[in-house]
Amino acid sequence: MTIADSTQSLRRQSLRQASIPRAGVAVLIAGSIGLAFVLFAVTPLQGDADFVVVAALLSVVILVAASWTVEGRRRAIDRFATSATMLALILTLLPLGFVLGYVIKRGAKDFNINFLTHSLAGIGPLDAGGGVYHAIIGTFEQVLIASFISVPLGLMVAIFITEYSRSSLATAVRFLVDVMTGIPSIVAGLFVLSFWILALNQPYTGFAAAMALAILELPIIVRTSEEMIRLVPAALREAAYALGVPKWKTILRVVLPTATTGITTGVMLAMARVIGETAPVFLVAGNNFFINNDPLHGQQASLATFIFINARASSDLQVDRAWAAALTLILIVAVLYVSARLLTRRNALARR
């Protein structure tokens, strides 16, 4: 028998191997769910979550058992591994789906253009109407100022780590930045409170909140920019050096532009990360029911503090407003994340 013949017969063999078709799998899973229904009807078992768990376990057991008898041991193990990972995936996505679904369901009630364009000025706990305009302004100003502080600083640290420092110093700085990543957000707020407001005797303002957020953004920006700058091929730097371009200009005009999309993505993710911070912001910016466009004077609301204060209020009207504000915040974060993803996709370096 030639080699060609033997591969031929191998192929024919594998073609003939018994397997459960897709439709069969669907029927088995549907049957498992049906069986779960019956179980919940006749036994003391009850509860929605319990039902999901029992149905899922039944599906796996029945599918693997059927596979073992029909398809053999190897395929049965394969089926088991596949369904186990699928289950893990579903378990991970379920909470996310529930959170999103619930926020949308509760938040949709008050969420409208009026809500987005009005403040709480003159709206009492028992009045309907009012909105989050003042909080949106506060959130945007605080996060933008925080980024204006932390982006240049973070970029410079990243450039220092990647381009200038000797390796031991770079390791030390990178370690410190990692430690900074672990700073609890309330500690950042406390730091600004004790240092800026109490020791230096500055007022409670949106700017103070921005400083706390900047502390939280800084390590994220350093690490993402560092990665992005590292992705810039050495060949590009060498090309610039070979043209007689000094190092600092090479970094500024060749390295950074090449890494821009990646760095921008990192900045957006850092913003998305801190936009929902509540404790440090509440601590040093206080709250305001009126529109305060000035981050340097007077207390300022933010979406997070708005949610925090209204959610624990006694009136249902206020709780509804908190949900609508939560929906607003989630939408803003979603826009940030999606833009970051789109930018990443355009980033030629990350694709390589």
Partner 1 sequence: MAKRIETVDLSCYYGSMQAVEGVSLTVEPKSVTAFIGPSGCGKSTFLRALNRMHEVIPNARIEGTVLLDDEDIYGPGIEAAAVRRTIGMVFQKPNPFPTMSIYDNVAAGLKLNGIRKKSELDGAVERSLRGANLWDEVKSRLNKPGMGLSGGQQQRLCIARAIAVEPQVLLMDEPCSALDPISTLAIEDLINELKDRYTIVIVTHNMQQAARVSDVTAFFTLKGPGEPGRLIEVDATQKIFTNPSEKRTEDYITGRFG
Give the whole-angstrom CA distance, residue 77 versus residue 81: 6
Mark 278-307 with x for binding to partner 1 (rule: CB under 8 A) and - for no binding: ------------------------------
Residue from 238, 294, 335, 346 touching partner 1 (CB under 8 A): that is 238
Cα–Cα distance measured from residue 34 to residue 45, given in angstroms and rounded to the nearest whole number:
14
Count of chain residues binding partner 1 (CB under 8 A): 21
State which amino acid sits at residue 74: R
Q: Does 239 bind partner 1 (CB under 8 A)?
A: yes
Site for partner 1 in 240-259 (CB under 8 A): 240-246, 249-250, 253-254, 257-258
Amino acid (one-letter) located at 28: L
Is 171 one of the binding residues for partner 1 (CB under 8 A)? no
Least spacing, CB of residue 166 vs partner 1, in Å: 9
Indicate whether 271 belongs to the interface with partner 1 (CB under 8 A): no
Q: Is 339 helix (H, G, I), strand (E, B) or coil?
A: helix
Cα dihedral across residues 184, 185, 186, 187: positive or negative: positive
Minimum distance between the CB of residue 160 and partner 1, rounded to whole angstroms?
15
- DSSP string covering 219-269, please? HHHHHHHHHHHHHS-HHHHHHHHHTT--HHHHIIIIIHHHHHHHHHHHHHH
Q: Quote the least distance from Cβ 254 to partner 1, whole Å.
A: 6
Residues 34-93 that bind partner 1 (CB under 8 A): none
For residue 175, the minimal CB distance to partner 1 (Å) is 21
CA distance 135 to 141: 10
Q: Is 233 in the site for partner 1 (CB under 8 A)?
A: yes
Which residues fall within 8 angstroms of residue 216, CB to CB, at 6 or more apart? 146, 183, 185, 188, 273, 274, 277, 280
Our CB check for partner 1 shows the closer of 249 and 312 to be: 249
- Looking at beta carbons only, is 74 or 249 nearer to partner 1? 249
- Give the Cβ contact number of residue 344 at 10 Å: 17
**Residue 236 in the binding site for partner 1 (CB under 8 A):** yes
The residue among 163 and 320 lying less far from partner 1, judged by its C-beta, is 163
Query: Smallest gap, in angstroms, from Cβ of residue 331 to partner 1?
Result: 32
Q: Kindly tell me which of 98 and 241 has the beta carbon lying closer to partner 1.
A: 241
Residue 6: Cβ within 10 Å count: 10
Number of H helices, E strands in the chain: 16, 0
Q: Give the Cα separation of 330 and 310 in Å (integer).
A: 17
Closest distance of CB 59 from partner 1, Å: 49
Residues between 333 and 352 with contacts to partner 1, criterion CB under 8 A: 348
Residue numbers at the binding site for partner 1 (CB under 8 A):
233, 235-246, 249-250, 253-254, 257-258, 260, 348
